[in-house]
Amino acid sequence: MDAFDSPGSRALLASALDAIIALDASGRVVEWNPAAEHVFGYTRDQAIGALLTDLISPPETRPHHEAALRRVLETRQSTILGRHVDLDASRSDGVRICVEAAIVAVPIHGPPLFVGFLRDTTERKRAEAQHRESAQRLHATYEHAFVGITEVDPNGRYRRVNGHFCALTGYSRDELLARSFSEITHPEDRAGDLDLFRRQMQGELGVYTHEKRFIRKDSTIMWVELEASTVKDETGTPLYGIRVVRDITERKHAAEHQRIMLYELDHRVRNTLAIVQSIASHTLRAAGVDSSIAAALTDGLIALAGAHAVLSSESWEGGDLDAVVAKAISAHERIRTQGPVVRLRPSLIVMLSLVLHELATNAAKYGALSNETGWVDLSWKLADDRLSLSWRENGGPPAEPPCRRGFGSQLIERLIRAEGGAVLSTRYEPTGAEVDIEVPVLFTLPTTAAA
């Protein structure tokens, strides 16, 4: 048509990003630009002269589209004329798409002319639907999570809270949105909490977790474990913080109760050992028992107390081998130790404490520690979850098998036999006694060698 025959019109049609379709009064296509070819799959030659509804309207919506278009063409008055409307359309290959359309009447002399501007919005609609679904899923997860979830602005004021957090703190949503997290944080925890948050908002700190106390609306105190992260803009600047809160009040109370009970247990065991030591000392002295025997018994009780001290410091859950060794040989010099960090179960701590005490006592009486020049090398290693200890005496008198097995030797053998899977090997060499002990360990933490 003449309206589109000028070079400027042709250039405009060719460069337009939207489909531009011109219709005559009968609804037939009189112009079809390259963008329309791309959107609907028909060439310009195929489209010219065809009814628009035959080209792009799906069969089930065609009657409705034809009626609407007829009203526009016949009356130039319609709810879709000059407005943007969403339509279902069909391509030449039958693929359904969504389009946004606007139809305007062109003010020219002669037969009326109508121009439609159509934009393929299929991907946008799909993205919007996915966004709505994602937002709904996020909202459902946010509100029905079994943890408190909050969002705070860079000043620490709440900008969003979920229902579980309201239930935890006793405050309504509106009450929390009018506060900052510091206002409901225990005074003793505010400084540390604010410092971590400030560093995170300044980009110095990433995701972090820490424990703190909140003061509920009813003035009761609750302990929480808080995991804090941030949402950042495209430059990496934090926009706001996300804080996930778990109530650990019962866990804290249980831990405190356990601490008190362990303290009481430790106190009673120490008293019991002191009483046993006192009774043994008085009994042996009253019976006229040789002082060396009394000293041996006392030393054994001291070694047992040392094992207890290691267990007590670790809440009776186990202990490190280097701590056990240090306690057992603390009364002796010239014992050199070397080995990896090994975590021992409680039964091994008691057994090794007494065994190492007896070995050191024997070395001080008869072996390498009985003179001024001898020494002992005590080392250990791990292999296949088994701990191997090596006791090597050097520089002392030659070791000889004893004429009779004393109490110390019998104690060592009994302790080793009592520990399932343990093996004891003793050799008497001209350079000194050599003892190897192998025991299964419960778990290990191999790191740097212990001094």
Mean pLDDT is highest, among 148-157, 283-292, 328-337, for 148-157
- In this prediction, residue 77 carries a pLDDT of 62
| pLDDT beyond 50 at 395 | yes
pLDDT tens digits, 252-311: 888 777 666 655 655 565 656 666 666 666 676 667 666 555 555 566 666 556 555 655
3-state secondary structure of 63: helix
| pLDDT beyond 80 at 152 | yes
- In this prediction, residue 451 carries a pLDDT of 36
CA atoms within 13 A on the CB side of 320: 13
- In this prediction, residue 422 carries a pLDDT of 81
Round to whole Å and give the CA distance between 376 and 367: 9
Chain mean position to CA 268: 40
The mean pLDDT value of the chain amounts to 81
- In this prediction, residue 245 carries a pLDDT of 93
Q: Do residues 293 and 408 touch, judged by C-beta distance below 8 A?
A: no
- In this prediction, residue 271 carries a pLDDT of 59
Same fold, 2-126 and 145-247: yes
- In this prediction, residue 448 carries a pLDDT of 41
Round to whole Å and give the CA distance between 14 and 37: 11
Backbone angles phi, psi at 153, to 5 degrees: -80, 175
Cα-Cα-Cα-Cα dihedral of 301, 306, 309, 310, to 10°? Answer: -140
Task: Give me the CATH code for the 252-450 domain, please.
Answer: 3.30.565.10
Alpha-carbon Rg of the chain, whole angstroms? Answer: 43
The model's pTM is 0.46
| pLDDT beyond 90 at 41 | yes
What six digits make up the tokens of 164? Answer: 């579980």
Round to whole Å and give the CA distance between 169 and 219: 10
Alpha-carbon separation of residue 433 from 179, 348, 355, 394, 402 (angstroms)? 73, 23, 15, 8, 11
Q: Do residues 181 and 158 touch, judged by C-beta distance below 8 A?
A: yes
Report the pLDDT averaged over residues 408-432: 78
| pLDDT beyond 70 at 123 | yes
What six digits make up the tokens of 236? Answer: 């990496």
| 337 vs 350 pLDDT, higher one | 337
Q: Do residues 273 and 297 touch, judged by C-beta distance below 8 A?
A: no
Dihedral sign of CA atoms 25, 29, 31, 34 in order: positive
For the chain, give every domain's residue range: 2-126, 145-247, 252-450
Report the pLDDT averaged over residues 174-191: 95
Task: Give me the CATH code for the 2-126 domain, please.
Answer: 3.30.450.20
- In this prediction, residue 64 carries a pLDDT of 81
pLDDT tens digits, 197-225: 999 999 888 899 999 999 999 999 999 99
| pLDDT beyond 70 at 386 | yes
Packing angle, helices 249-286 and 291-313, rounded to 10: 180
Q: Poorest-confidence range of 15-19, 269-273, 394-398?
A: 269-273
Q: Do residues 211 and 248 touch, judged by C-beta distance below 8 A?
A: yes
Instruction: For strands 432-440 and 386-394, give the pairing.
Output: antiparallel
| 166 vs 329 pLDDT, higher one | 166
Instruction: For strands 335-340 and 375-383, give the pairing.
Output: parallel
- In this prediction, residue 305 carries a pLDDT of 60
What six digits make up the tokens of 140? Answer: 């459902």
Task: Give me the CATH code for the 145-247 domain, please.
Answer: 3.30.450.20
